[in-house]
Structure 1
Amino acid sequence: MTVRVERDKATGVAVVTLDRERRHNAIDLETAAELTEVWREFRFAEDVRAVVLTGAGSAAFCTGIDRGVEVPQPGSPYSVDDPLAAIGPKAGDLWKPVVAAVNGMACGGAFYLLGESEFLIASSSATFFDPHTAYGMVSAYEAVYMAQRMPFGEAARMSLMGTAERLSAARAYEIGLVSELTAPEELLPAALRAAETLAGFPTEAVQGTVRALWSAKQSALQQALSQAPALISLGNLAPERQAELFGSRRPGPEFRLR
C-alpha cells in the first residue's frame, strides 16, 4: 500500500497520507489507483465526515507523477491518457471537505490534489513550483488548477518559470493559495483542528456548502480542462528529450519570498 488511511470514528476525521517518502511521495500507478479507490469509498463511509490529506515525512507533500511511470499515449493530439486524472477527491465524486496539509515540496502533479481540496494549510517549510516547462512539457491540468486558486499573474509565473524558482510558503499565504501558515511541528494538529470542526457540523449542510462552492467555478474549470489533452499532445517534447532534460536538471536555488 502506498496510501495510508487512518480514521478516527470519535471525531469523524480521516487522515490520508501519501506514503512513498523515499520517492518524495511521487505518484505511481499503484498510488493513483489507491487514491481513486479511497475517495470513492469515503462517499459511503458515514464515519468519515472530513478529510486531512498530507504526505509522509517533511521533505515533500507530493512531487507529482513518478518519472519511472511509462504511459503509452494515443497517436492523436486530441487524446491523452493521464494517469493522474482521477486522483483528486472531486474526480472521485467526493463532496466531503478535504483539508490539504502541505509539508515540504508540492510540485507538478501535486496540484491535481491541491486543486481539488477545499483549502490548504502549510508548514513554513513548504514550497510550491511547477517543473513542466523546464523539461519541455506543457503545464495544462496543473496550470488550470492553480489559476483557479491563485491570482492569474502568480499562477502564470509559477507555471512558466519551471524549476527556476520556488514559491515560498510565506508568499503562498500572502496571495491566498494557503489559508493558514504553521510551524512544521504544528502542521498536522492545525489541519486536524480545522477538519474536526467541519466534521462536527451537520454533514448535509457541510457537503451542500462544498458543492455550492465548487459549482461557482466548475463550469469554467471543466471548459479549461477539456483543452488540456490537445495542448499537451501538441506542445510536449518527445519523451526521450524530456528524459534528457530531466537527467541534466539542476536544483533551482531561487525562492521567491515576495
Structure 2
Amino acid sequence: MSGGLRVDADKESGVAVVTLDRPAKLNAIDLPTASELASCWRALRFDGSVRAVVLTGAGERAFCTGFDRDTEVPQPDSPYMVDDPLLRIGPKANDLWKPVVAAVRGIACGGAFYLLGESEFIVADPTAAFFDPHTTYGMVSAYESVHAAHRMPYGEAARMALMGTAERISARRAYEIGLVSELAPPGGALDAAVSCAAVIASYPTTGVQGTVRALWAAKEATRSQAFAHAPSLIALGNLPPERQAELFARRRTGGYRVR
C-alpha cells in the first residue's frame, strides 16, 4: 500500500505486519490513512495465506497519536449526525476475525485506542507510554474511553481519560494493570509480537477465528450500548473547534508525570 500504511505479508509463516507509516506525524491518522486501514482489513479478510496480523507504527517515537489534528472533517449541520473518521479503522469494525497483535513502541494516545481496543493483545517496548489528551483540550473522550475500559480496570481507564496530558502510563504500569500482556526487551516489541502471531498462525484457522469471535462476543454487547451514547456526549461536551485549537496550541511540551 502507499501513503500512510505499509503491509508486509510472510506467506510461509502466515503473518502479515501492518505498519502505520507516518513517523514524521507520529503516525497520526489522516483521512487517507483511515481509508487505507479500512481497505487493508477488508483485503485481509479474503487473503487466506494470512492467518494472523501484527499492527505496529513506524519509527521510535510513537505507535500512533490518534487523529491528525491538521485534517479537517466536514460535519453535517446536525447534532444527531456526527461523523467520526476513526470509527472504521479497526479490524473488528471491518469484520476481520483473524487475530491481531499490537506491537507498541513510544507514544500511544487518544485515537490509538480505536486500534488497541480492537487488537487481541498488546506487546510493548519499554519506551511505550499511554495517555488520552481529550479532556485537556476541551473534548469528550467517548469511544476511546469505552475501548480503554474494556482493556484495563475502570479506575485506571477513568484516571487516564480524566488526567489528560498531565500523566502518562508507562510500559511497566501498563503491564501491571493488564493493558499490556508482554514487556519486550528494548527495541524488541515487533519481534516478540511477530513470534506470538506466528505461533497462533500455525494453529487450525477455524478454531483460532472462532475463539477470536467468542472473546469479542464477551464484551461486544456492552461496547455497542456504550458506543450508542458517544455521539450525543461528544456533541454536547466538546468545545468549539476554534477553542480546542487554542488549547492545543498552548499544549505543554513537558511537565507530565509518568507512572
Q: 1:202 aligns with which of 201, 204, 211?
A: 204
Deviation, 1:184, is 2.6
**What SS class does the counterpart of residue 188 from structure 2 fall into?**
helix
Q: Which amino acid aligns with 1:105?
A: I
Aligned position for 1:49: 51
Separation in structure 1 between the aligned mates of residue 228 and residue 254 of structure 2, nearest angstrom: 31
Q: 2:134 aligns with which of 132, 135, 139?
A: 132
Deviation, 1:87, is 0.1
Percent of aligned pairs sharing the same letter: 67
**What SS class does the counterpart of residue 249 from structure 1 fall into?**
coil
Change (3 A) 1:252 1:144: farther
Separation in structure 1 between the aligned mates of residue 128 and residue 27 of structure 2, nearest angstrom: 14
**Alignment of 1:72 onto 2:74:** yes
Deviation, 1:75, is 2.8
**Alignment of 1:163 onto 2:165:** yes
Give deviations 1:55-113, integer Å, cap 9, x for gaps: 00110000000011111222322221011110000001000000000010000010000
In structure 1, the gaps of 5 or more residues are none
Normalised by the length of structure 2, the TM-score is 0.98
Aligned position for 1:185: 187
**What SS class does the counterpart of residue 165 from structure 2 fall into?**
helix
Aligned position for 2:12: 10
Aligned position for 2:252: 250
Kindly report which structure 2 residues correspond to 1:31-180, keeping only aligned pairs within 5 A, or say none: 31-180=33-182
Separation in structure 2 between the aligned mates of residue 75 and residue 233 of structure 1, nearest angstrom: 11
Give deviations 1:130-179, integer Å, cap 9, x for gaps: 00000000000000000011100000000011101101000000000000
Q: Which amino acid aligns with 1:148?
A: H
Answer whether contact 1:163 1:251 (CA < 8 A) is retained. no
Deviation, 1:252, is 4.2
**What SS class does the counterpart of residue 185 from structure 1 fall into?**
coil
**Alignment of 1:20 onto 2:16:** no
**What SS class does the counterpart of residue 154 from structure 1 fall into?**
helix
Separation in structure 1 between the aligned mates of residue 152 and residue 169 of structure 2, nearest angstrom: 12
Separation in structure 2 between the aligned mates of residue 65 and residue 21 of structure 1, nearest angstrom: 14
Separation in structure 2 between the aligned mates of residue 165 and residue 240 of structure 1, nearest angstrom: 25
Q: Which amino acid aligns with 1:56?
A: A
**What SS class does the counterpart of residue 116 from structure 1 fall into?**
coil
- Give the aligned CA root-mean-square deviation in angstroms: 0.8
Separation in structure 1 between the aligned mates of residue 186 and residue 138 of structure 2, nearest angstrom: 33
**What SS class does the counterpart of residue 233 from structure 1 fall into?**
helix
In structure 2, the gaps of 5 or more residues are none
Deviation, 1:182, is 1.1
